[in-house]
Structure formats: C-alpha cells, structure tokens
Structure 1
Amino acid sequence: MTFDLNDFVYDLPSDRIAAHPLPKRDQSKLLVYHQGQIRHERFNNLAENLPAKSLLVFNNTKVIPARLLFKKDTGADIEIFLLEPISPSPIVAVAMQAEGKAVWRCTIGNLKKWKPGIRLHKSAGGVEMTAELTDREKGVVTLSWTGEKYFASAIVKLGDVPLPPYIKRAADAEDRERYQTVYSRNDGAVAAPTAGLHFTEAVFESLRHRAIDTDYVTLHVSAGTFQPIKTESVRDHHMHSEQITVTLANISALLNNSTTIAVGTTSMRTLESLYWYGVKLIHDPEAPFRINQRDPYLNYPELPSAQKSLNTVADYMSRHSLDTITGETSIYILPGYDFRICRGLITNFHQPGSTLIVLVAAFIGQDWRRIYTEALENGYRFLSYGDSSLLLP
C-alpha cells in the first residue's frame, strides 16, 4: 500500500480537459469497470450495466452563482467568492433564505485594492447589493441587498457560475443550466457534483424500467474539492470540511438495499460519513454530527455492521423527533479504507494528485491507473464537463 503523492499522479494533456459540455448530457462516454474487466459504453446505457435491484444515491445540492464581481469607483475589480455562511446561520439552507443581510467567509480577488472602510456596490436585474469587509484576515464579508427578499434569489441576479479553475474561460449563459444537475434542489454548492451532470429524464426512465431505485442526500460541495494535495505523503493532507444533510427516509432506503451505488464522490463521502456517525453515537449517544478526517482510522476495539450503525442513527433521529439531520464531514478516504455502505461508484475522471483520485484508488486499488490509461487512449474527455465511469470492484 502506498501513500506517496507521486503514486497518484498521471499525465493529463490540457487538450483532454473538457472546456464545454457535450450538446446532450447522456451522450457522454461511459467506461464500465466490473471486477477487473473494462468495457466502453454510452451513458444512456447506464441502466443496462447496473446490478439488478441496485440503489443509486444522488447528491441533490444546487450550485449557487458564487462569484460576485464588484467594481470600485476607481475602476478596479474586486471578486468575492462565497465559501461558507456565518450569519444568520452557518447552516447553508438557512443562510440562503437570509433576508436583507448575510455574512459569509469568502476568498477575495484583488484584496489589496479593497481598503478598510470602503463599501462596494453592485446592481443588476433590479437588485442592489453592498459589500463590506468585516475581517480582512479571515475573508469575512457582510453583504446587504434590496430588490429581492432572499439571499438565494438576490445572487441569482448578481452572481456568476463558479466554473472550476481548470476551465480556462469565462462562464456563459449555457453554464447556468449545464453546470447543474437536472435534479438539483438545495442551494449551497460552489462546485457541481459532476458525476450527476450526465443524467437526463430518459436515463431516469431507463432506471425505473429496470427497477433500479434512486434516493437523494445533500452535500454542499465546497471550493476545497479543487485543492490539490501538496504534501509528500497523501496522508498528511488537510481535508476540507463540507456540510451534509440526510433523512430518515435515506436511512430506510439504505437498510432495505444491499447494493448501494454512489453517484459521485460527494454522495460516497456522505454515505460513508453516515456510517461513522453511527459509530460515534454508539460510543456517545449525544455525539454531534461531525466526522473528522481521521475518524475512520482510529483504533476501535470493534466496529459495528452497517445495519447496526445506520439503525443507531435512525434511533437518535427518532429520539429527537428529527426527519432530517445536518452535519459536517471532513472524511478522507485513503487506500486501505474499508467501505461500509457503498458497493459501486459512478464518477468522472479526476485531476492528477487530487483527493478524488486517492478516493478512487481506495475503492478499486491500483487498477485506477489502468482505467485512466484506457480512458486516455480511447479519447475520453476529463474533469467536470468530461465523460463518466461506472466502477464496480
């Protein structure tokens, strides 16, 4: 087993990074890896390649227009990139419904041009917004607006789609629709759960026809998903935290199905985090829903089955009269990790030296490199707007 960063790096030519989506979502290529064998399909044939009576679990987060470009009176541009809410609530669903004022932690482009005490203004579509730098060191910005009641609707008028940094172009009107899954529902992500971008109503119909169940969790994808590993050992990387929400209905669906396939790494991280929350509750019945990156690697005297862990979470929720529960996860899935919930993964092709490559390697072992070589040799498009894979170890 290796943890050397160099062992998770491959050569990705820049012309293999998809800069635009295909005209039709479900016409992307699909590499199917099943018990060591590889074959090539189209995504619209996904259902035919899934195990019978599988449960597909999707991430229904919705990408928000997180890039807000303000212009000073001097003409200098200041870009505010929303990262996570602080007030009126750190819970994303609540913060998106803020009325008139909100405080967010942000990354700020051209910060040196934003002098203390200077308020920035922006208007579009009948909405006017003011930005005030509250904490320069921590990137805390207070935003106030008029013209729309809620923060979610205000930034739709004022913000731009936050395309990944490796897509070297400005976002356009097409990206508002295509850098979003067709089933997106809960505002709060600053990056798309890209494995889901290939799904269409026709694909969902084919899933129903083959009696493949579907369910939805929420993980609000943060900008940390693009953070490269910079440490020599991947184990030393500091994993970012993301907010997740699951329901009692989710747990029931998982308990009633033995073949759970995660649609995307974010769904996989959510489901595996749910297992570890059950472990925490077994040891502390009132433990907060917070999964740290080292939690799966602690020395536990004995670990429960997935069924026992999920039932423990369900019991906690019932005891507290909760239909939904929101927590935070920094789970870091490394080679050697024992997957507790997920038996399959639908995912795009990821950046060299990323935590997502490490996760894929943890799931299927050293064959990840054979898969990526095969994809490169067969003309697959890579990264967010690229093609897809179905991994069934």
Structure 2
Amino acid sequence: MEKIFDLDYYDYEIDEKLIAQEPLKERDLSRLMVIHKSDFKIEHRIFKDLICYLKKDDCLVLNNSKVIKARLIGYLNGKEVEIFLTRAISNDEFEGIGKPLKKFKKGSIIEVGEFKILVKEVLKGKRIYFCENYMEVFEKHGQIPLPQYIKRKPTKEDEIFYQTVYAQKEGSVAAPTAGLHFTEKLLEDIKNLGVNVCYITLHVGIGTFKPILEKDIRKHQMDYEYYEIPDETAEIIKSSKRIISVGTTTTRTLEFWNFDENPRKGWTNLFIYPSYKFKVIDALITNFHPPKSTPLLLVSAFIGDFEKVKEAYILAQQMKYRFYSYGDAMFII
C-alpha cells in the first residue's frame, strides 16, 4: 500500500493548549495563514486581510446551513441521559444516539422538562424516537452540539458564535467552521470589490465527528449528507474564472455536483483524499484540522503533499495559531 493511502501517514502531534476552547468575539480578527500552492510561500495575516487576495469577478462560495440545538439532556428513570439528534424522519419521529446507549430500550420514556420522548425502535448503535413536534423540544431545551475537543459545556454565547453570520437553513449538527470568521461587514466589503458571493447548503451530519477506522483510507465510507445548490449559484460558478470554496463541506458539495455532472440537490457521501483530482474549486479557505481526520485528508489532497501540510501545521503551532473549530484559518491559493 502506498503511504498516501495509509491512515497513520496523516498523524501529527498537537499541543492541546492550542485547541481553541472559546470563540473570538471579533470574528475577522482571527489569524490567517496564506499558502501559495505554486511555491509553498507562506504569509501570516489576519482574516479580514482576506480581501487583499480577492479580485473582481472571483466567486466566493459559502455553506449557509444553520446548526440546530441537537444535544438534549433529559431523565430516564430519574437518571440524567443525553439524546443527540442525527436525522429527522418526520415531524414526530427522529433518529438519534442515546448516552448511555444501553439504558435506551424500546418503550423507554425520556422526560425533558414538560415533554416526554418515547424510544420507538432499537437499532444497532442508534434509536428511533417519537415525540409530537419534537423540534419544539430541541429548540426550547436543546444545546448547541460543540465538538468533544471543546472541554466545556455549551453556553448561550455558543448559540451566536458556533453559527455563521449568514446561516439560514436549519439542519446541521456541526458548524461549517471555515465560515465562522466572516462578519457581515467583511462580506459587504468583499461584494463591493466586485466578488460574486453565493451560497450552497450542505447539512453537516454526525459523520463529521466519525473517526477513520480503516488503515487503508480508501476503505473509509462517509455518511450521506443532504445538499442543495441554487440555480443562481450554479450559473454564477459556471461563468466564473476563480472559484474560492469556504470550507470542506462547501468543497465536497461543489466537487460532487461538478458542473451538473450530478443533480443540484440530493445526497452526497463524497470522500476526498490524496490522489483526488479537483474539478471545480481553485482556492480553499479552511481551519486547522485534527490528525487523521477527513477534513485534513481533503486539505492534503488540495495542496497535493501532506508533508507540506505538516510543515504548515508545525509552523502554525510554533507561532501559536489556534486550532480546530474555534481556531484560526488557512487560505490556500
């Protein structure tokens, strides 16, 4: 097996003190590492300097999916339990993961405030729940589902900052984090430059937290996630010379669509890893990702050499960049 397909190749050491635990209050003052693919020149800026690298008629594509309060704390037989919503089935039924899972038996009742949720079916590793208008329960009592490497409970502040300023369509259980750095003013300034700013939707699923378990990365299966590309966005992209993708979720959506090779709405489980040939995007804005993760493999595929990615990550740690969801950003051009 070639080393580029060996999961262990994509490991690196991370100083856990650099894993951002809190959001920056001034979103666009996060740091920005600019990497030039042609010669691997690296520049260190702040995020609002992004505008210095954009030009008239560029196309900036963002994911406007909105994070839902997918984590719910309730009581089963008087003991605290957790439900994590993973998929809507109907207005009254949903699929989710329960913790501790073995306590969630068919017929169990979970009490959440004034609401009662029934475990309707027991499946391998997950459960089907019944509750009339259950989204009302999640909206009233749910919590923003922060990643497990953020070692604290979510707060009201996370309902603002673990959400992009342009989020519109509810459905994600994790934020498209590359977009967290944008402010409304920065987006307005970018539009005033003559850049075409447009949106797709990909609802980020629980699979975003799923580790790769196969040593041969080619055997890994991504979960299916729902996406939509509006006709207006598709036509703007088709007529643009440079497509700048904001985040790995946007990238996977655009690359799957591939100029109408696939439908403009539907489900995708496209897994992008080294050896993949990009067909749509020309530049990528992204955060710094965990070792051996699917977003890291996508970034490695786009740069074309994980050794270069690793060099950038080592440099980022030396310069005290902040890592992961609430961390700093990288612009690869």
The alignment's TM-score, normalised by the length of structure 1, stands at: 0.79
In the other structure, the counterpart of 1:5 is: 7
Q: Cα distance, 1:326 vs. partner? A: 2.7
The 5 A counterparts of 1:107-146 are: 107-123=97-113, 128-138=114-124, 139-145=126-132
Counterpart of 2:87 in structure 1 is 84
CA distance in 1, matches of 2:137, 2:97: 19
SS at match of 1:136: strand
**Equivalent residue in structure 2 for 1:335, among 255, 271, 274:** 274
Deviation at 1:382, TM superposition (A): 0.2
- CA contact 2:86–2:206 (8 Å) conserved in 1: yes
Match of 2:301 among 359, 362, 379: 362
Alignment check: 8 A CA contact 1:241 1:328 kept = yes
Separation in structure 2 between the aligned mates of residue 78 and residue 131 of structure 1, nearest angstrom: 12
Q: Does structure 1 residue 199 correspond to structure 2 residue 182?
A: yes
* Equivalent of residue 218 in structure 2, options 235, 238, 242: 235
The correspondence for 2:261, drawn from 279, 289, 299, is 279
Q: 1:68 aligns with which of 67, 72, 80?
A: 72
3-state SS of paired residue (1:221):
coil
Secondary structure of the 1:279 match is coil
Partner of 1:284: none
Find the aligned partners of 2:216 and 2:195 in 1 and give their Cα distance. 39
In percent, how many aligned pairs have the same letter?
A: 38
Give unpaired runs (5+ residues) of structure 2.
Answer: none
Match of 1:376 among 317, 322, 327: 317
Q: Distance in 2 between matches of 1:116 and 1:207?
A: 53
Shift in alpha-carbon separation, 1:62–1:31, aligned structure 2, 3 A: same
Corresponding residue SS for 1:12: coil
Post-superposition CA distance 1:51-87 (Å, at most 9, x none)? 44211100000000001111124x211211000122x
Q: Aligned letter for 2:110? A: L
In structure 1, distance between residues paired with 2:201 and 2:174: 13
- Aligned AA (1:7): Y
Q: SS of the counterpart of 1:342?
A: coil
**Partner residue, 2:250:** 267
**Alignment partner of 2:252: what SS?**
helix
CA contact (8 A) 1:119 1:130 kept: yes
Give the Cα–Cα distance (whole angstroms) in 2 for the partners of residues 8 and 51 of structure 1: 34
- CA separation in 2, counterparts of 1:227 and 1:193? 16
Cα deviation 1:27-60 (Å, max 9, x = unaligned): 1000001232100000011111224421110000
Q: CA deviation at 1:202?
A: 2.0
| CA distance in 2: counterparts of 1:160 and 1:244, whole angstroms | 24
* Larger displacement relative to structure 2 (265-274 or 205-214): 205-214
- For the pair 1:213 / 2:152, whether they are aligned, the reply is no
Going from structure 1 to structure 2, the CA distance change for 1:211 and 1:230 (only over 3 Å counts) comes to: same
CA RMSD of aligned residues (A): 1.6
- Which letter maps to 1:31? M
Greater C-alpha Rg = 1
Contact kept, 8 Å, 1:46 with 1:203, in 2: the verdict is: no
In the alignment, which residue of structure 1 is the partner of 2:265? 326
Q: Is the 8 A contact 1:77 1:110 kept in 2?
A: no
Measure, in 2, the Cα distance between the counterparts of 1:245 and 1:279: 14
Whether the 8 Å CA contact 2:70–2:138 is kept in 1: the answer is yes
1 CA distance for matches of 2:224 and 2:81?
A: 26
Structure 1 residue identity aligned to 2:163: Q
Change (3 A) 1:370 1:50: farther
Task: Give the C-alpha shift of residue 359 in structure 1.
Answer: 0.4
Deviation, 1:279, is: 3.3
Structure 2 distance, partners of 1:174, 1:14, is 23
Aligned mates of 2:135, 2:149 — CA distance in 1: 26
Contact preservation (8 Å) 1:334, 1:362:
yes
Amino acid at match of 1:85: A
132-141 vs 35-44, which deviates more? 132-141
